[in-house]
């Protein structure tokens, strides 16, 4: 159904050249991402260092025995690291599966603003449930379902602030993406430090507080947003049956193009998300975090990426603007292909470092920072460009659902990250990093081929 809010609000109500509603969404998403990345920074460390040991000593976690039996029925007996990796992949994957259904429900029944409220409340409950080992899996369930309501609808509302032809749209998504990364930068510093230095549940509780702040920002700033996007009533035929709007042939081609691109980006996310999984373990076990006699928490590793987002995004925006003036700026899909190549360079550096590392010696944390530099540039070339790509070519009548489809690629990618990560100890770090390089380059080639094929059949690519 077509939403009632598809154009920009009054242009006079602006801040830094953009509608003020953009900054409401910026800070709402910033605090939501603070809560998500704060919890994620601790998740694998919490399981490998605390939770699984507690379970072996008799602690009860509702549903855990059933989950472990199901995973090991498919993959055989697993070590603590391998089991934690599988759970990490299931959780972070399902976080990106439920937005498909959340977007569909918002499009057809409850509207985007109401969906955001539902999602924020459910996620807040989930974070506070993490205070008890017993409710660990129930907490993850609340977070998964809540994110499904929240994530596709907050991203879609950015697009509703601008008319379809407004050239500020791409820049708006870059600003919005910086809000994502501001939350992701602060989260490990606050939640990670509390979790590792004070107590695990202090870190998880701080993530819950962040979610509550995000909900408050959205509630008190909603007057700056477009009118509530409740679904329009469907037209009815004389027989009284609903008469849904059908997609045109051109719209179907756009849907197919989006699904094709999303399918390939699964590989990118499966590799990229190792930062929260196997690379976090490497940072904890094989990196030296001492600075002037003080040891930083290893979870600060996950602040490198969002910090670099802030530093690098303005330079890349100017670089793309320079390319545009010279009529040499790549299209969206080509940029995403380049992102895969650039990300692979981080694993090339990591592989070289591990091969040259003497036995018993640890990597200086600055080397990990250098590797994350390449991961970050690759991400900027793919992730915000993908959001803008969806907002530009998705049929308006199903745009929230198509945003959910984009996030669905992260579901499969995050599960792939967990599955691949379960081989980290089995095949050794050097062979594991070689596999990451090969998969990155394969994804780049496929995207480049798609860019050539789709350009002939879909307008606007």
Which fold, 20-229+249-289+296-455?
A: Growth Hormone; Chain: A; (1.20.1250)
Give dist(CA 378, CA 386) in Å, integer: 12
Spatial neighbors of 172 by CB under 8 A, at least 6 apart, are 18, 22, 158, 161, 162
- Let me know: does 299 contact 42? Beta carbons within 8 Å: yes
pTM check: above 0.85: no
Spatial neighbors of 444 by CB under 8 A, at least 6 apart, are 337, 338, 340, 341, 344
pLDDT score at 144: 93
**CA atoms within 13 A of residue 157's CA, in its CB half-sphere:** 31
Return the domain boundaries, the chain. 20-229+249-289+296-455
pLDDT score at 92: 83
- Across the strands, what pairs with 109? none
CA torsion, ordered 379, 380, 383, 384, to nearest 10 deg: 170
- DSSP line for 28-85: HHHHHHHHHHHHHHHHHHHIIIIIHHHHHTT---TTHHHHHHHHHHHH-S--HHHHHH
Give dist(CA 268, CA 336) in Å, integer: 9
Q: What is the pLDDT along the chain (461 residues), one digit of tens a residue?
A: 333 344 444 444 777 777 888 889 999 999 999 999 888 888 988 998 899 989 988 889 999 999 999 999 988 888 888 899 889 888 988 887 888 788 778 877 888 888 899 999 999 999 999 888 899 999 999 999 999 899 878 877 887 887 766 767 767 877 887 888 889 889 988 998 899 889 988 999 999 999 999 999 998 988 888 765 455 444 554 555 555 578 787 778 888 888 888 899 999 999 998 988 899 889 888 888 888 888 888 888 888 998 998 889 888 888 988 888 888 888 888 999 999 999 999 999 999 998 877 877 888 999 999 999 999 999 999 987 887 788 777 777 777 678 777 877 888 888 898 889 888 888 888 899 999 999 999 999 999 998 887 776 666 56
Give dist(CA 278, CA 132) in Å, integer: 25
């Amino acid at each position: 159904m077509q939403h009632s809010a598809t154009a920009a609000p009054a242009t006079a109500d602006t801040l830094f050249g953009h509608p003020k509603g953009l900054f409401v969404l910026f800070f709402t998403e910033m605090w939501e991402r603070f809560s998500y990345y704060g919890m994620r920074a601790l998740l694998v460390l919490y399981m490998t260092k605390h939770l699984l040991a507690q379970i072996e000593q008799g602690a009860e976690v509702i549903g855990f025995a059933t989950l472990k039996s199901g995973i090991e029925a498919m993959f055989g007996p697993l070590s603590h690291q391998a089991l934690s990796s599988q759970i990490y992949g299931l959780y972070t994957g399902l976080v990106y599966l439920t937005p498909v259904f959340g977007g569909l429900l918002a499009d057809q029944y409850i509207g985007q603003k109401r969906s955001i409220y539902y999602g924020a409340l459910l996620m807040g409950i989930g974070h506070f449930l993490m205070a008890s080992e017993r409710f660990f899996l129930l907490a993850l369930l609340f977070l998964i379902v809540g994110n499904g309501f929240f994530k596709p609808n907050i991203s879609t509302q950015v697009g509703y602030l601008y008319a379809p032809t407004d050239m500020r749209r791409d820049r708006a998504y870059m600003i919005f993406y910086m809000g994502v990364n501001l939350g992701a930068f602060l989260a490990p510093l606050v939640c990670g430090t509390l979790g590792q230095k004070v107590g695990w549940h202090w870190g998880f509780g701080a993530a819950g507080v962040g979610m509550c702040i995000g909900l408050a920002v959205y509630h008190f700033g909603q007057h700056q947003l477009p009118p509530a996007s409740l679904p329009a009533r469907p037209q009815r035929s004389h027989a009284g049956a609903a008469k849904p709007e059908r997609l045109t042939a051109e719209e179907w081609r756009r849907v197919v193009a989006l699904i094709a691109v999303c399918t390939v980006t699964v590989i990118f996310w499966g590799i990229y998300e190792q930062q929260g999984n196997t690379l976090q373990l490497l940072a904890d076990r094989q990196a030296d975090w001492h600075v002037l006699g003080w040891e930083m928490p290893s979870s600060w590793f996950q602040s490198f990426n969002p910090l670099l987002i802030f530093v690098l995004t303005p330079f890349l925006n100017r670089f793309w603007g320079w390319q545009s003036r010279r009529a040499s700026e790549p299209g969206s899909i080509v940029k995403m292909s380049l992102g895969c190549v650039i990300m692979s360079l981080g694993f090339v550096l990591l592989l070289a470092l591990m091969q040259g590392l003497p036995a018993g010696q640890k990597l200086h944390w600055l080397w990990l920072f250098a590797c994350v530099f390449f991961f970050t540039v690759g991400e900027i070339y793919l992730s915000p460009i993908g959001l803008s790509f969806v907002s530009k070519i998705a049929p308006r009548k199903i745009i929230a659902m198509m945003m959910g489809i984009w996030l669905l690629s992260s579901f499969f990618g995050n599960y792939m990250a967990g599955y691949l990560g379960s081989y980290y100890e089995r095949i050794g770090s050097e062979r594991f990093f070689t596999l990451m390089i090969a998969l990155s380059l394969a994804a780049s080639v496929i995207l480049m081929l798609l860019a050539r094929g789709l350009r002939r059949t879909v307008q606007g690519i």
